[in-house]
C-alpha cells in the first residue's frame, strides 16, 4: 500500500480563494440577469433568456462544490496525521486515509476516493479464490453480485489471486472439467466471471498512459506485470487464453491491449503450449483447447485492429527481433483472420506516417539518407515481401489485405522498387536464391494485384525489364550446375504473377493499359531469354547441354540442341503442380524465342560462322515490335528475312514458329 500526502494548509487556502473568486463572478452573473430582464421587453428578436448566465451559475456551483471537497480533504489529511504541524506535510497510507474519509465524509467516499477500500476488498476476495476449489470460486464470485463490476474490486481480485493463483484456478477448473467433476455450465460461468473481472480491471489503466514504456501501477488498479508474468509460462498463457476467450471483442485501454498481445500473440501458440505440457485436454480433446486458444488470439488481433495506437506500440516495443506485425500475419489462417491482420498492418504503417517515421525515407538512388533504415517501420516494409501472405492452400487473399498491400505499395513505391532491386542484387551475388525471392515477390504482387487501386503503379514497378539481369545471373552461374529444370521452376513460379496481373487488370477495367501489359510481357519474355542463358552457359561448359554437341557438330545438330531446351521449357509449363492445380501454359513470343536462339547460334563458333556468312542477325527491334504489335510491315520484313535463310537455319526456327 502506498502513502498519500498533502499540505492541509494549501488545500484549505485553495478552497477559500476559489470561493472568493466565485463570489466575484456571481456578481457578473447577476448583472447579466438584470440586463437580460431589461432587454427582454425592449429588444424583440434578441436572445434575452439569460442561458449563458444560468450555465455560468451552474459552473460556479461546481467550482464551489470542488472547493468544499478540497477543504474536506485537507481536514482529512490533518485528521489522519495527528503529528502534522501547521504548514507541514501530512502523510498517511492510502487505506487508512480512505477509511478515515469514509468515516468523516461518507458522502465523499465514492469512485476514486473509495478506490483503496475497494481494492482492499478485491484483494481479500482474490486471496479467498486462491484457496478455493473451482466450484467454490464460482460461488464466491456469484455472491459478489454487481460489486464484481467495480473496476477497483476487480483489479484487487486479480492482484489477490496473482499469476500463480489464476493459473492454478483455471488449470484446476479445466482438470476437474475434463474428469467431469466440474459441471460444464459452472465451468463456463467461472471463466465468464474471470473474463468480466479482467475487462473491468483493465479500465483502471489510463488509456493515455504511454504504451511504449512499461506501466507501473502506483496504487490499486490492474498491474500489467501480472499479464506479463502469465505470458512467460505455457500454463500461464493457457490460463490467460481461457480468461480472454469467453468475451466478445471489445475495446480495452491501449496499454492493456499491448500487454495481452505481447503475452499471447508473439510467443508459442495455444497448440504449441498444449503439446509441450501435460495440460488436461478436457472432454473435447486438444482441439477443444486449441479452439479456445484461437478464439483468444482472434480477440486480441481484433483489439489491435480497432486500436491503431496499440498496433503501432506493439511494433515499436519490439524493435529488435521478429516484427510482431509479421508474426500476426503469419499466424492468420482464415480469411477473417487475414482481414484483421491487414487492419493491424494498416494501423502500424499509417500511424508511422502520422508520427513522421515514414516520411523521412528517401530513395538511396537520389543520394539522400535513408533515415528509416534501422527503424521498425523499415523492417515492416522490407519484410512484407518475404512474409507468407499467399496461402499455399490456394485460398485467395482477402480483399482487405490486398487493399492494404496495394495502398502500402502505392504509398511507398520507391521503397519497394529499391527493395526489389536489392533482393535481386543479392540473388545475383549468391546465385542460388533466385527462386525463393522471386517466389516471394511474385506472391506479394499476386496478392496486391487482386483488387488494385494501385495496379498501374505496381505494374510499373514490375515492368523494370529484368530479364537481362536474370540472364546474366544464369550465365554467370558455375557451368554444369544449372539446367533447364531450374529455369522452368523459376518461371513456373512466376506464372501466378503474370496471371494475377492480368486478372487484376481485368478486374480494374484496365486490361488494355500498356503499363500493365508491358510487365506481363516482360515476365513472359523471361522464358526465351532464360533458355538462351542455358544455352550460353552450356556452350561454355564441356558436358553442358549444348557444349557436348558444339565441338565438330553440324549446324543442324547445334540448332536442334538450341531449339530443344526452349521447346522443353514451353512444354513443361503445361502440367500440374504438387497440389494438382493446373499450371498455365506459357506461350512466349516466337520472335523473342528466335531472337534468343540466334543469340546462342551467334556465340557458337561453327554455327555462328555459318550464320554470319548467310545473313545478318535479324533486327532485334523488329522482333520485339512483332512481339508487341505484330504489325504487317514488320511481319513482311521478318518473312523476307526468314526466306533468305539457309534451309538449315529455317529448320531450327520452324519448331519455334509452329508452337503458335
Partner 1 sequence: MTLPFQPPPIVFPPPFDDGAAARLAATLDQLADALRSMAVRETDRAHATVVDWRGFTRRWFGAQHRHVIQTLTDVANAANAEAASVRQAAVAAANAQATAQAAFVAQQQYLAQQQAEALAAAAATAGP
Please say which residue, 32 or 266, places its beta carbon nearer to partner 1. 32
Distance CA 387, CA 596 (A): 35
User: Does 6 participate in binding partner 1 (rule CB under 8 A)?
Assistant: yes
Minimum CB distance to partner 1, residue 21 (Å): 5
46-65: which residues touch partner 1 (CB under 8 A)?
46-48, 51-53, 55-56, 59, 62-63
Distance CA 240, CA 313 (A): 21
Give the binding range for partner 1 (CB under 8 A) out of 89-97, 256-264, 278-286, 589-597: 89-97
| φ, ψ for residue 554, nearest 5 deg | -80, 160
The one among 81, 94, 238, 315 contacting partner 1 by CB under 8 A: 94
Minimum CB distance to partner 1, residue 92 (Å): 8
CB atoms within 10 A of CB 509: 8
Residues 6 or more apart whose Cβ sits within 8 Å of residue 423: 385, 437, 440, 441
Binding mask 250-269 for partner 1 (x = CB under 8 A): --------------------
Please say which residue, 43 or 644, places its beta carbon nearer to partner 1. 43
DSSP string across 595-611: HHHHHHHHHSHHHHHHH
Minimum CB distance to partner 1, residue 98 (Å): 7
Distance CA 194, CA 169 (A): 10
**Under a CB-based contact definition with an 8 Å cutoff, are residues 304 and 328 in contact?**
yes
Please say which residue, 39 or 553, places its beta carbon nearer to partner 1. 39
Binding mask 114-143 for partner 1 (x = CB under 8 A): -xx---------------------------
Q: Is 220 left (phi over 0), alpha (psi -120 to 50) or beta?
A: left
266-295: which residues touch partner 1 (CB under 8 A)?
none
CB contact burial 525-535 (16+ within 10 A = b; e otherwise): bbbbbbbbbbb
- What is residue 6's three-state secondary structure? strand
Distance CA 181, CA 280 (A): 13
The one among 87, 109, 111, 424 contacting partner 1 by CB under 8 A: 111
User: Does 434 participate in binding partner 1 (rule CB under 8 A)?
Assistant: no
**Under a CB-based contact definition with an 8 Å cutoff, are residues 391 and 579 in contact?**
no
CA angle 398, 404, 406 (to 5 degrees): 100
Q: List the grid coordinates of 306.
A: 480497432
The one among 71, 84, 98, 598 contacting partner 1 by CB under 8 A: 98
Minimum CB distance to partner 1, residue 152 (Å): 10
User: Does 106 participate in binding partner 1 (rule CB under 8 A)?
Assistant: no
13-52: which residues touch partner 1 (CB under 8 A)?
13-14, 17-18, 21-22, 24-25, 28-29, 31-32, 35-36, 38-39, 42-48, 51-52
Binding mask 174-213 for partner 1 (x = CB under 8 A): ----------------------------------------
CA angle 446, 450, 452 (to 5 degrees): 110
Q: Within 13 Å and on the Cβ side, how many CA atoms surround 12?
A: 11
**List of residues contacting partner 1 (CB under 8 A):** 2-7, 10-11, 13-14, 17-18, 21-22, 24-25, 28-29, 31-32, 35-36, 38-39, 42-48, 51-53, 55-56, 59, 62-63, 66, 69-70, 73, 76, 89, 94, 97-98, 111-113, 115-116, 219-220
Amino acid at each position: 500500500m502506498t502513502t498519500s500526502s498533502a499540505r492541509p494548509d494549501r488545500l484549505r487556502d485553495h478552497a477559500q480563494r476559489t470561493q472568493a473568486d466565485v463570489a466575484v463572478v456571481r456578481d457578473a452573473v447577476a448583472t447579466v440577469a438584470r440586463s437580460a430582464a431589461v432587454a427582454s421587453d425592449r429588444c424583440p428578436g434578441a436572445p434575452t433568456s439569460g442561458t449563458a448566465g444560468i450555465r455560468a451559475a451552474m459552473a460556479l456551483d461546481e467550482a464551489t462544490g470542488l472547493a468544499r471537497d478540497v477543504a474536506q480533504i485537507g481536514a482529512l489529511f490533518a485528521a489522519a496525521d495527528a503529528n502534522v504541524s501547521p504548514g507541514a506535510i501530512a502523510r498517511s497510507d492510502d487505506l487508512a486515509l480512505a477509511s478515515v474519509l469514509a468515516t468523516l465524509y461518507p458522502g465523499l467516499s465514492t469512485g476514486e476516493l473509495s478506490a483503496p477500500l475497494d481494492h482492499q476488498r478485491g484483494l481479500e476476495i482474490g486471496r479467498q479464490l486462491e484457496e478455493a476449489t473451482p466450484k467454490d470460486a464460482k460461488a464466491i464470485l456469484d455472491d459478489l453480485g454487481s460489486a464484481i463490476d467495480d473496476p477497483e474490486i476487480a483489479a484487487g481480485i486479480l492482484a489477490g489471486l496473482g499469476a500463480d493463483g489464476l493459473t492454478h484456478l483455471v488449470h484446476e477448473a479445466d482438470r476437474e472439467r475434463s474428469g467431469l467433476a466440474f459441471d460444464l455450465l459452472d465451468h463456463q460461468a467461472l471463466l465468464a466471471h474471470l473474463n468480466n473481472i479482467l475487462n473491468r480491471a483493465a479500465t483502471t489503466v489510463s488509456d493515455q498512459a504511454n504504451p511504449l514504456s512499461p506501466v507501473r501501477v502506483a496504487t490499486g488498479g490492474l498491474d500489467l506485470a501480472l499479464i506479463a508474468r502469465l505470458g512467460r509460462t505455457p500454463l500461464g498463457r493457457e490460463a490467460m487464453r481461457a480468461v480472454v476467450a469467453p468475451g466478445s471483442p471489445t475495446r480495452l485501454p491501449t496499454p492493456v491491449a499491448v500487454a495481452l498481445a505481447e503475452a499471447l500473440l508473439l510467443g508459442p501458440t495455444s497448440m504449441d503450449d498444449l503439446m509441450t505440457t501435460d495440460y488436461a485436454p478436457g472432454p473435447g480433446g486438444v482441439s477443444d483447447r486449441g479452439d479456445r486458444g484461437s478464439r483468444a488470439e482472434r480477440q486480441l488481433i481484433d483489439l489491435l485492429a480497432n486500436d491503431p495506437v496499440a498496433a503501432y506500440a506493439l511494433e515499436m516495443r519490439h524493435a529488435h527481433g521478429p516484427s510482431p506485425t509479421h508474426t500476426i500475419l503469419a499466424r492468420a489462417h482464415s480469411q477473417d483472420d487475414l482481414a484483421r491482420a491487414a487492419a493491424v498492418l494498416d494501423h502500424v504503417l499509417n500511424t508511422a506516417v502520422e508520427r513522421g517515421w515514414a516520411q523521412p525515407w528517401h530513395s538511396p538512388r537520389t543520394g539522400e539518407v535513408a533515415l528509416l533504415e534501422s527503424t521498425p517501420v523499415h523492417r515492416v516494409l522490407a519484410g512484407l515481401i518475404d512474409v507468407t501472405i499467399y496461402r499455399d492452400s490456394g485460398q485467395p487473399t482477402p480483399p482487405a489485405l490486398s487493399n492494404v498491400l496495394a495502398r502500402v505499395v502505392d504509398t511507398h513505391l520507391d521503397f519497394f522498387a529499391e527493395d526489389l532491386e536489392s533482393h535481386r542484387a543479392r540473388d545475383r551475388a549468391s546465385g542460388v536464391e533466385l527462386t525463393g525471392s522471386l517466389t516471394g515477390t511474385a506472391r506479394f504482387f499476386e496478392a496486391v494485384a487482386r483488387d488494385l487501386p494501385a495496379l498501374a503503379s505496381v505494374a510499373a514497378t514490375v515492368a523494370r525489364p529484368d530479364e537481362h539481369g536474370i540472364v546474366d545471373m544464369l550465365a554467370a552461374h558455375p557451368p554444369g550446375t544449372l539446367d533447364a529444370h531450374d529455369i522452368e521452376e523459376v518461371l513456373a513460379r512466376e506464372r501466378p504473377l503474370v496471371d494475377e496481373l492480368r486478372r487484376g487488370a481485368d478486374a480494374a477495367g484496365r486490361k488494355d493499359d500498356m503499363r500493365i501489359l508491358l510487365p506481363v510481357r516482360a515476365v513472359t519474355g523471361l522464358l526465351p531469354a532464360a533458355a538462351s542463358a542455358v544455352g550460353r552457359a552450356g556452350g561454355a561448359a564441356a558436358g553442358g547441354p549444348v557444349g557436348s554437341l558444339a565441338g565438330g557438330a553440324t549446324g543442324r545438330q547445334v540448332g536442334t540442341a538450341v531449339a530443344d531446351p526452349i521447346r522443353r521449357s514451353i512444354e513443361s509449363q503445361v502440367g500440374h503442380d504438387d497440389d494438382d492445380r493446373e499450371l498455365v501454359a506459357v506461350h512466349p513470343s516466337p520472335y523473342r524465342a528466335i531472337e534468343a536462339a540466334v543469340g546462342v547460334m551467334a556465340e557458337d563458333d561453327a554455327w555462328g560462322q555459318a550464320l554470319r556468312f548467310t545473313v545478318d542477325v535479324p533486327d532485334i527491334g523488329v522482333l520485339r515490335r512483332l512481339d508487341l504489335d505484330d504489325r504487317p510491315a514488320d511481319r513482311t520484313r521478318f518473312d523476307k528475312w526468314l526466306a533468305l535463310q539457309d534451309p538449315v537455319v529455317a529448320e531450327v526456327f520452324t519448331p519455334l514458329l509452329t508452337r503458335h
